[in-house]
Amino acid sequence: MRLLRFDCLIANQDDDVFTAFLSEQVSWGWEVESAKADTTRYIVYLDTEQAAKELSGAIKKQWPRAQCTVVPFEGRDWSESWKEFFVPVRIRETFVILPPWRGGHDDVRGLIPIVIQPKMAFGTGHHASTALCLEAVARLWEKSMITPQTRFLDLGTGTGILSLACAKLGLSGLGLDIDPVAVDNALENQRLNDVEGLLEIRRGGLEVLESGQRFGLILANILAGPLARMAADLVSRLEPAGCLVLSGILVDQVARIEKTYQDQALPAPFRLTREEWAALVWTASSL
């Protein structure tokens, strides 16, 4: 797949808001580098000129002074570009995230390998919001708050990385995503990790679930806005004493999301933070 490189210069004072904006617009990630004084350069790789035009229009609508440029990413394709910066990601003493070209995974050293083929879906373990969710899963496992008897729901599964982590621990469950590209990528990663019997990947959201269907673990690495809107529906799908992990939340959005879910009769959550991102974890007892 040949790519276009989309560059955008944004004032540093808008970094947090722009990052949240990109999280909604560009699910597969981006690069960040310092530019001239008081400015940050955001780099996104896109596969069509139409996608670049739409992203530029959405940016200009909110940041009229933003400087956006598009150039061909000559002589490279997406998979080859990923190989340069997809380094293994280690999560506590539990998981290591690897690309398929890492051979026989000789360097896992007792960690559970999760193989991710990076494509145009979100979730390689490099973004803080994904790493926080994986850390939450690892902590819950260490404390025996989730077991192979726990059934999970991964809402907005992306590459399937969170579902794969759960399945590699022996849990069974369901990964859902409304994006057909993400579903295809998650299915490919499911095959790479040999967990077909434990994990089902489907296209859709909460509306595809059976009436009354509940889960012992719910994972939702999305964004604060959707998480707030679906609070009642998500909590209704949680088993009594089940565990709920929410991520994709900026630190300054935490208080609002906490209150929204506490209004659904949940207690105060445990917080995990990394960089400007946070994950909220509800359990029957303390982590």
The SS3 assignment for 226 reads: helix
pTM here is 0.76
The SS3 assignment for 115 reads: strand
Q: Please name the CATH architecture into which domain 86-282 falls.
A: 3-Layer(aba) Sandwich (3.40)
Helix axes 128-142, 161-168, angle to 10 degrees: 20
Q: Is 274 exposed, middle or buried (0-12, 13-18, 19+ CB in 10 A)?
A: middle
Q: Is 93 exposed, middle or buried (0-12, 13-18, 19+ CB in 10 A)?
A: exposed
> Among candidates 196, 152, 188, 185, which has minimal Cα distance to 171?
152
Question: Which fold does the domain 2-81 belong to in CATH?
Answer: Alpha-Beta Plaits (3.30.70)
Distance CA 68, CA 72 (A): 14
CATH 3.30.70.120 boundaries in the chain: 2-81
Cα torsion through 186, 210, 138, 167, rounded to 10 = -50
With tokens 């998650």, the residue in question is 186
Q: Angle CA(140)–CA(259)–CA(176) in degrees, nearest 5? A: 50
The SS3 assignment for 1 reads: coil
Put the strands of the sheet holding 31-34 in their side by side order.
31-34, 39-46, 2-11, 67-77
What pLDDT shows up at residue 12? 85
CATH 3.40.50.150 boundaries in the chain: 86-282
Identity of the amino acid at 175: G
The SS3 assignment for 28 reads: coil
Chunked mean pLDDT (size 10), the chain, 287 residues: 83 84 75 77 86 92 92 64 69 90 65 83 76 96 96 95 97 94 92 93 95 97 91 96 94 95 95 92 82
Distance CA 11, CA 203 (A): 37
What pLDDT shows up at residue 73? 73
What pLDDT shows up at residue 85? 57
Distance CA 158, CA 154 (A): 9
